[in-house]
Amino acid sequence: MTARFIVLWETPSDPEAFDRHYREVHIPIARQIPGLRRYLISRDAVAVRGEPYYQVAELEWDSLEELRAAFASPEGKATAADVAKLQGYAEVRSMIVASGEDVL
């Protein structure tokens, strides 16, 4: 079972500054989180209902326990602290998806 941390970013007040900080500061910090096996960023989402998010980030670990340990680590705490800085540009929502059912 994998565990995913999904981050949904609203459109930033200053997209250029947000993008620069995200690429130059946030990604290098987050890539150091222990056990992180995948970090996917998506843009240009097309909303079926409501407004689309500006950016969606999906971070993945092998288990929920690894995800929890990762965010308790110094690197995880540094990443969370940097999210607080990015919130100066854009609202953010996040969720953990720790299980899934294959229905196909």
Domain chopping of the chain, boundaries:
3-97
7-39 pLDDT tens trace: 999 999 999 999 999 999 999 999 999 999 999
CA dist 59 and 10 (Å) reads: 18
| CA dist., res. 17 & res. 13, Å (int) | 9
Q: Alpha-carbon distance 99 to 36, whole Å?
A: 17
List the CATH code of the domain at 3-97: 3.30.70.100
Mean pLDDT of the chain: 92
On the 0-12 / 13-18 / 19+ scale of CB atoms within 10 A, 55 is: buried
Q: What is the pLDDT of residues 39-51, one digit of tens each?
A: 999 997 888 888 8
Enclosing H/E stretch for 64: helix 64-72
Rounded to 5 degrees, φ, ψ at 101 are -120, 120
Q: For residue 44, what pLDDT is reported?
A: 77
Total-model pTM: 0.87
Between 64-72 and 74-86, two packed helices, what is the crossing angle to 10 degrees?
80
